[in-house]
Every structure is written in structure tokens, then in C-alpha cells.
Amino acid sequence: MQDKVIIITGSSIGIGRAMARIMGQRGAKIVLNARNAERLNATYQQLLSEGLSVTAIAGDVSKMEDCQKIIDHAIATFGKIDALVNNAGISMEGTVEDLSPEVFKKVMDVNYLGSVFPTKCAIPHLRKTKGSIIFISSAAGIRGIPKFSVYSSSKMALTALAESLQIELEKDNIHTGIAYVGFTENDPQKTIYDANGKVIPQPNRNLVKTEPPEAVAKRVMNMIENRTQKSVFTPLGKLNAFMNRFAPFIVKKVLSNNYHKD
């Protein structure tokens, strides 16, 4: 990580902030990004006070022009880009029938296009450093989850994107990896969309064992260092991936029983 320039989208809270701190402590130069400028500045000031080499630029990754500004800012500040971590994302809750059409678009814009656009802008610079692109997916990107259909769809789309780029960028020696993150401890500031498109606090995950953001951050850092192409986090996530491949009917049964128990 020493002197590597790493852009982390969605890095004002949660996993993104944890990645920024841990990679920065290992000597990386971090470019922070988030839509909420006030929250982003608070994280920037905190990491700066800890002696880390950081810069910050607010921007909406679902907008191509903002993504180009993020990349340009990284180059103007640090002169190169060694890794892009596409971490920005938003979730939702509601059945397909009940969801507002706006929710479908908002979630896909942030979770999918919000990874496509920064990647597209960063590729010419990553080609020079033979750098890395990391996509933060989810266990929901392995198997569709009822009431989280759009979120699952957006995370599954990242798999196709990563697999395509692994071949397209092979000759450029650009590493492309995708991380299937499991249940992670909630950040108090984390929000999701309800069925009507209203922003609400993310519900607590009291029924499942969650992983600290710092543990997730270390796993992602290891993916960059080892140039890992695919990694499923947590034992539950690995079990989900295994069962979905070899016994999908069991996974469907478990999800169905849980969904219909109410």
C-alpha cells in the first residue's frame, strides 16, 4: 500500500471510511468521495487529524461528469491512480409490485452506473500504473433476495461487469476484482429507500452475525495486494455461494420459508 493512490467511492461512512483509514495507515494516499459534502468533510478532517494522506471531493457517481471530476482531482492532487474501489451504494426494501418506479432507477443508477462511470474514467490512468479496479458486491449478488430485488439485481450486474473487464483489460495488466461482502455492522448514518422512494434509516440486523467494517476493509485491501479476482466474504457468504451453486433448491426453500413465515 505504500504510496499507492487509491480512490474509494462512498467513503464518508461505513465500509468505505474503514477502508480509507486502514489503507491510509498502511501508507496509501486516499481520495475520499461521497455525495454528502458535510459528512465527507467530517471524515476528511478526522483522517487528516490522524496523520493520513487524504484528499476529498464530493460528487455523485451516478453522474458521468462528477466521476470525471473525481478522477481529475485525484490526478491533480497525487499525480496517478493505483486503485479504484467502487464502494458507493444504496439499498432498498419492498416487493417488486409495491416499489415505486423511481426506486428501480435510483438503485441501479447508484449501484451499477455508479461503478461503471468511475471505472470508465479511471481506466486510462490505471493502464499507466497497471493498477486495480475493485467492485464491492454483496451476498445478495449471488442469489436474489425477496424484498431486495433491485438491490440484488444491481449487485449481480457487477459480476457481469467485472468478468467482462477481466478479459478486456487483461493485456493491459489491470487487475479487476469483485468482493461479495456479507452482513456488515450498520453505520448509524446508513440509509435505504423504502418502497415509495423515501430515504429511511437502515434496519438493524439483529438476527444474523455481522462483520465489523474494519474486517471487511482488510479483506478488500488483501484483494488489491494479492490481485484477487473474486472473493466471497464471511463463512455464511461462502456457504450461500456453495449451496446456491450445488443445491439451489435448498437456498430457495430457506428464503421462501423465511419470507412467508409472517
Question: Each residue of 177-214: b (16+ CB within 10 Å) or e?
Answer: bbbbbbbbbbbeebebbbbebeeeebeeeeeeeebebe
- Judged by DSSP in three states, 60 sits in coil
Angle CA 28–6–172, to nearest 5 = 120
Check pLDDT > 80 for residue 250: yes
- Give the three cell numbers for residue 259: 419470507
- 9-49: pLDDT as tens digits: 999 999 999 999 999 999 999 999 999 999 999 999 999 99
From 44, 151, 180, 193, the catalytic residue: 151
Domain limits of the chain?
A: 5-237
Class of domain 5-237: alpha beta
Q: Which of 56-70, 190-204, 241-255 tops mean pLDDT?
A: 56-70
pTM: 0.92
Q: Is 96 exposed, middle or buried (0-12, 13-18, 19+ CB in 10 A)?
A: exposed
Question: Residue 151 catalytic?
Answer: yes
Check pLDDT > 70 for residue 114: yes
